């Protein structure tokens, strides 16, 4: 007997922790469970073919807003190809509208609602006993002697909805009862190689944000700390590159967060990075002190700001001390050891475009490494989903149910903000244009005005339709900068040169960069001198000058591109200094090359 447990992820590097947790909780029936993971970028026919060839006796899909459109296309075909195979769905995308989903998809046997581990275990036990029964005839009917009706058997299992029964929400689990699935076999070396490892130490959330399904379960349950420490040891011993905690608000319990942060600080392996979603305004002083001591790159923090509009915060039932949040983000940034990711949401009630721009500029001024513009998703089961009429929310009919307009923001505004989001991703969140953008910002009244103008430039040039290559994005920014500020053409050219070489050692120099011919003799003399008597290039002592030139880069500048705030406004006729870029050493937060500045 085989139950095929299917996860369809947004990207290859993602994994689906839910299906691994479900399998881990099936105990003696684990041998009957096979996991299949795909991505939404794969061809439908390839996924369908693979599912068919695995010859399952039962199918179970893990359903989310990012994969349900594809699952919806698979279900009718699988019903035709595997008519005798029961199909089960579970996950947040179907749990809160089970009856509607069953009506839409006649081939679906039932839906598991709520936390799935207990229910899935019972369903696995049910099919194991049924299919392995000597009287078994048809998994969708009854056994040969009519002894056990399928429907009668399922009605004894809590947490399922079929066309004949609804057995209610299952009991909540003690997190101590969920096995640690990563220890099984060679999961880390095989299934999770080159993929994000997700980890959960708590369920539920004490906050009541109206757009979030986590607010439904206001209680918070924690995994026992002795188990957590053993599991962290496993990740550390295996030198996992990144562990992403999926706790909804990791620091909602101060003692829990402190003990874990202290443990990873004391047991650092020099490699593993830990990602946490936190509420920045509730961070305490001892937490800040501890976080300041962490190895650069050991931790990254995701902070959901969502809006800085007080009326909107009140309406979405989000309690945030914005002054404290700003103060704590400033403190965290001052440590220079933690990657900070801050979020905003477009389409919240009482936030029009003007208000959102204010929120954008507020959060941008906090100088996060990443500023993500999300667009409201109207989720079934969420409080905001019940208020769409009051708020005039119009949203997509299909997943991910993204906002199109509200009483406060038009669809045209949403389109414009989508373009701004793309510019922000390219020119801010990529971290590839930091110094150029910092100087360019001064030519605009606000940061938002810069990105909105960039979006307008892309629109005029047709670059949203024909997405430019990574290298052309530098050239496009140069052209835009010259349009916006024609007085400093050479400064922008040098800034882009600096930004480009910070990230990579180029095999060939793009034509739009500053002229290098005049530097060639200076560069060669530098490397030749270092070959004869290494001072700055001791790590490259085994290489010839020519070899070292291919592995590193030296660039001469007329302006202090590494710190334009120090520029006195004078036009330079000669080089004021050079920068040596060492690609063996990189900043663990930004991935920029290590630099040595040489003053002339």
Nearest to 109 by CA among 80, 78, 131, 87: 87
The answer to whether the beta carbons of residues 181 and 23 sit under 8 Å apart is yes
Distance from CA of residue 235 to its chain's centroid?
20
Residues facing 149 on adjacent strands: 142
The answer to whether the beta carbons of residues 245 and 251 sit under 8 Å apart is no
The answer to whether the beta carbons of residues 344 and 363 sit under 8 Å apart is yes
Buried b (16+ CB within 10 A) or exposed e, 479-509: ebbeebbeebeebbbbbbbbbbbbbeeeeee
DSSP string for 178-227: S--GGGSTTTTTTTTTTSPEEE-SEE--S---TT-GGGG----EE--HHH
- pLDDT the model gives residue 135: 57
Digitized pLDDT (tens) for each residue of the chain, 600 residues in all:
899 999 999 999 999 999 999 999 999 999 999 999 999 999 999 999 999 999 999 999 999 999 999 999 999 999 999 999 999 999 999 999 999 999 999 999 999 998 999 999 999 999 988 877 665 555 555 444 444 455 667 888 999 999 989 999 888 889 999 999 998 877 887 888 889 999 999 999 888 888 988 756 668 999 999 999 999 999 999 999 999 999 999 999 999 999 999 999 999 999 999 999 999 999 999 999 999 999 999 999 999 999 999 999 999 999 899 999 999 999 999 999 999 999 999 999 999 999 999 999 999 999 999 999 999 999 988 999 999 999 999 999 999 999 999 999 999 999 999 999 999 999 999 999 999 999 999 999 999 999 999 999 999 999 887 766 788 899 999 999 999 999 999 999 999 999 999 999 988 888 888 778 889 999 999 999 999 999 989 999 999 999 999 999 999 999 999 999 989 888 877 889 999 999 999 999 999 999 999 976
For residues 493 and 93, give the distance between their C-alpha atoms in angstroms, rounded to a whole number: 49
Distance from CA of residue 141 to its chain's centroid?
43
For residues 357 and 368, give the distance between their C-alpha atoms in angstroms, rounded to a whole number: 16
- pLDDT the model gives residue 144: 41
Nearest to 343 by CA among 398, 421, 403, 434: 421
The answer to whether the beta carbons of residues 248 and 204 sit under 8 Å apart is yes
Pairing of strands 87-90, 110-112: parallel
- pLDDT the model gives residue 146: 41
Nearest to 100 by CA among 377, 381, 378: 381
Model pTM? Answer: 0.92
CB hemisphere CA count around 563 (13 angstroms): 6
The answer to whether the beta carbons of residues 181 and 201 sit under 8 Å apart is no
Collapsed DSSP state (helix, strand, coil) of residue 397: coil
For residues 489 and 567, give the distance between their C-alpha atoms in angstroms, rounded to a whole number: 15
Nearest to 358 by CA among 285, 317, 307, 321: 307
- pLDDT the model gives residue 218: 66
The answer to whether the beta carbons of residues 572 and 564 sit under 8 Å apart is no
First to last CA, the chain: 76
3-state secondary structure 33-68: EEEEEEECCCCHHHHHHHHHHCCCCEEEEECCCCCH
């Amino acid at each position: 007997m085989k139950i095929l447990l299917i996860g369809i992820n947004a990207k290859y590097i993602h994994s689906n922790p839910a299906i691994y947790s479900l399998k881990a909780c099936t105990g003696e029936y684990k041998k009957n469970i096979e996991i299949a993971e795909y991505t939404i970028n794969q061809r439908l026919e390839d996924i369908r073919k693979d599912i068919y060839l695995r010859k399952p006796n039962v199918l179970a899909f893990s359903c989310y807003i990012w994969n349900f459109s594809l699952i919806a296309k698979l279900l009718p075909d699988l019903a035709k190809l595997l008519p005798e195979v029961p199909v089960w769905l579970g996950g947040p995308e179907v749990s809160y509208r089970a009856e509607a989903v069953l009506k839409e998809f006649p081939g679906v046997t039932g839906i598991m609602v709520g936390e799935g581990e207990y229910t899935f275990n019972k369903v696995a036990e049910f099919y194991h006993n049924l299919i392995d029964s000597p009287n078994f005839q048809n998994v969708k009917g009854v056994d040969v002697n009519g002894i056990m009706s399928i429907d009668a058997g399922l009605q004894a299992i809590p947490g399922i909805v079929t066309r004949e029964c609804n057995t209610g929400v299952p009991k909540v689990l003690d997190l101590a009862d969920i096995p640690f699935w990563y220890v099984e076999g060679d999961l880390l070396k095989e299934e999770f190689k080159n993929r994000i490892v997700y980890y959960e130490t708590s369920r539920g959330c004490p906050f009541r944000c109206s757009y979030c399904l986590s607010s439904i379960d206001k209680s918070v349950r924690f995994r026992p700390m002795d188990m957590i420490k053993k599991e962290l040891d496993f990740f550390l011993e295996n030198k996992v590159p990144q562990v992403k905690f999926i706790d909804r608000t990791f620091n909602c319990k101060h003692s829990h967060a402190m003990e874990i942060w202290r443990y990873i600080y004391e047991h650092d392996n020099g490699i593993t990075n830990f990602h946490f979603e936190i509420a920045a305004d509730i961070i305490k002083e001892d937490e800040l002190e501890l976080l300041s001591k962490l190895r650069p790159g050991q931790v990254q923090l995701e902070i959901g700001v969502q809006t800085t509009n007080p009326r909107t915060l009140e309406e979405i039932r989000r309690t945030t001390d914005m002054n404290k949040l700003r103060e704590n983000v400033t403190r965290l940034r001052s440590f220079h050891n933690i990657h900070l990711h801050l979020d905003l949401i477009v389409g919240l009630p009482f936030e029009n475009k003007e208000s959102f721009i204010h929120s954008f500029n507020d959060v941008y001024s906090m100088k996060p490494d990443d500023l993500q513009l999300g667009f409201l998703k109207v989720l079934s089961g969420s409080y905001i989903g019940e208020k769409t009429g009051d708020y005039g929310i119009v949203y997509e009919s299909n997943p991910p149910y993204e906002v199109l307009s509200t009483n406060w923001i038009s669809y045209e505004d949403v389109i414009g903000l989508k373009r701004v989001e793309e510019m922000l991703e390219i020119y801010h969140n990529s971290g590839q244009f930091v110094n150029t953008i910092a100087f360019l910002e001064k030519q605009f009244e606000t940061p938002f005005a810069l990105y909105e103008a960039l979006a307008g430039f892309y629109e005029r040039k047709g670059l949203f339709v024909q997405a430019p290559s990574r290298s052309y994005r530098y050239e496009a920014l140069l052209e835009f900068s010259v349009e916006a500020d024609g007085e400093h053409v050479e400064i922008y050219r040098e800034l882009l040169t600096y930004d480009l070489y910070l990230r990579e050692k180029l095999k060939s120099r793009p034509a739009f960069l500053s002229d290098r011919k005049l530097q060639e003799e200076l560069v060669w003399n530098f490397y030749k001198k270092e070959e004869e008597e290494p001072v700055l290039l001791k790590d490259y002592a085994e290489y010839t000058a020519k070899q070292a030139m291919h592995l590193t880069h030296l660039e001469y500048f007329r302006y202090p591109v590494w710190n334009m705030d120090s520029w006195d406004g004078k036009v330079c006729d000669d080089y004021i200094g050079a920068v040596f870029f060492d690609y063996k050493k990189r900043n663990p937060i930004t991935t920029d090359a290590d630099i040595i500045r040489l003053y002339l």
